[in-house]
Structure 1
């Protein structure tokens, strides 16, 4: 008997290491009829799929969801199209999992799918290991102690906003570095945080790279890079 409608799942699959997927996310991934995942290039499989490729079964239907992720292009029509595509499968009673790097509700693409479909279909979000937490782990630096205030800041913000946010934090992680690296470094130096800053690219992925921040080439900083400013508290 076909179910009236399928269930939609947003699966956090972690920052890159396939072993960092949770037991629950793995179970749901392998039991769903449909596996959907974001791609930024129509000629490539996408990072999310590559993380869990070994877990996907041949009989499962795979749906790449194209999102251009370009400043000059609004992503909203692409989210609308993705939601419409997934709704067709859900209406047929098929369960759909959407793969999300890191955590679905932490700067995750799935949030936009959720906003369009959660009021129409039963939906569950499975949290995942964020790259911010994974970065601290691979760098070997505890992020926070006791009552520290911790912030996560996108590097894309203007320098004055970066400065204001960092000035009130005991510990911080700066994400989405890319072409904003030099701006961020300037702010860190102005606030006296540069010596504390730690840099990592593609944490837990096969291409992971940890470099002393003063040896980073600004022209080669990828989008998936992070600066960690750990707590100063001493036990």
Structure 2
């Protein structure tokens, strides 16, 4: 294959948080690729709206429908079909830029396409600002300092794993909190770290929500794009 496959991190939601390199490659790419949800909308494309204003499209986008399901079989089939469409474009000598929310290699959907195309083509990755760093900036809250230990876990971890992380580490970020919010809140109470926690959903977007007192959160499912940042209230700063 003579085309290059680019994984472009577009950041967490604010269109102004794309890097200059990301904007340039989006505008220069022969083909854009991105996931779409069941509504037919692409979060990543919406985030890249400012970069797309200067783009002249010469080829049809590769749209990869992603079912909202916990079944990996459905997701794997979507990635298989998406990788094949990208493969065909690359074989024609076209450069394909995949728009990925956040950072392509940090809980990024690009990873699954890269695995399928590795060894077949030239691959380049443009890092993006993660939701973790965007949330910390919005909260004006350091993620970790000096000798503090730092851990990133997912809401897909078990309650026992969440409790262990909260007890073992000074600073913890719990990603993909959505469906797991009740168990995350329970783990925070069990470890007596509920007062150490802050919550952000849809960071950088118009519907962003910040909650500095997570005791105010209802113990019910939240949106997929949400996270908790937990750090010691008493921190060593010298």
TM-score tier (shorter): over 0.9
| 1:221 corresponds to | 222
Deviation digits for residues 91-119 of structure 1 (CA, Å, limit 9, x no counterpart): 10110000010001101110010011121
Distance in structure 2 (CA, Å) of the matches to 1:143 and 1:198: 11
Q: CA RMSD in A?
A: 1.5
After TM superposition, the runs of 4+ consecutive aligned structure 1 residues lying more than 6 A away are none
Equivalent residue number for residue 23 of structure 2: 26
> How big is the shift at 1:227?
0.7
User: In the alignment, what sits opposite 2:46?
Assistant: 50
| Pairing 1:160-199 to 2, within 5 Å after superposition | 160-199=160-199
**Number of aligned positions between the proteins:** 231
User: In structure 2, what is the equivalent of residue 71 of structure 1?
Assistant: 70
The structure 2 residue matched to 1:234, chosen from 214, 233, 236, is 236
How far apart are the structure 2 equivalents of 1:139 and 1:163? 24
Cα distance, 1:230 vs structure 2: 2.5
| Mapping 1:96-175, distance limit 5 Å | 96-175=96-175
Task: State the Cα distance separating 1:68 from its structure 2 match.
Answer: 1.2
The answer as to 2:21 corresponding to 1:15 is: no
5+ long unaligned stretches in structure 1:
none
Question: 1: CA distance between counterparts of 2:101 and 2:112?
Answer: 14
Q: Is the 8 A contact 2:4 2:95 kept in 1?
A: yes
TM-score normalised to the size of structure 1? 0.93
Which range moved further: 45-54 or 217-226?
217-226
Structure 2: segments with no counterpart, 5+ residues:
none
Per the TM alignment, residue 53 of structure 1 is displaced from its structure 2 partner at its CA by 2.2
